[in-house]
Structure 1
Amino acid sequence: MSTTTIDGRTIHVDQEGFLTEPAEWDEDMARSLSALLGIELDERHWKILRFLRADHASTGETPTLRRVSTSLQVPMKELFQLFPTKPAKKMAYVAGLPKPRGCV
């Protein structure tokens, strides 16, 4: 298991940079991670991130893009606007969760 330092905090990550210890995540960490991706978080982002964290806590899996869209009634197009290019990976990364299954 690797570690990296973000904003002076040492966190555990996998080889792709996803946090491996969800307990190391907090909202300040999310702001730092999103800044690395060039994303400025607003309330729409927080709604998604909070869902991701809660769903992962109850299922043990990172929700897929389709699950997020269906559960929150957020159109897929909006998810791509909020987390451009690879929304499933970017949402999981900022939420401090493992990369969703099926993501390349």
Structure 2
Amino acid sequence: MTWPASTPPPPYYAVIFTSLRSGIDDGYAQTAQRMEELAAGRQGFLGIESVRDGTQGITLSYWTDLEAIRAWRADLEHAEAQRLGRARWYARYSVRIARVERAYTYG
């Protein structure tokens, strides 16, 4: 993962995934790595940034358009990871989708 993600000039879209882990690992790290690799190969993927502090985490993925986000959500391997997330790894989570209108970087 590159931080910050190397994104083109706006507009583009961000998927903001905030989560509270359940405390169960059981393959979580391997699945998270696989999802990052899988997303990176999808058409419309621009980049990803992620931070975790104990059980709380925020992951932002960047996409060219809403159709690319829909296609990623519907990916069969990603859908299975989502199912496992609900069943094992997350006590709760929230997904927000936003259009990035302006972006600034320092340093």
TM-score range, shorter chain: 0.3 to 0.5
Structure having the larger proportion of residues in helix:
1
TM-score, normalization by structure 1 = 0.34
Whose strand fraction is larger, Structure 1's or Structure 2's?
2
Q: Which protein, 1 or 2, shows the higher relative CO under an 8 Å CA cutoff with sep ≥ 6?
A: 2
The structure whose Rg is larger is 2
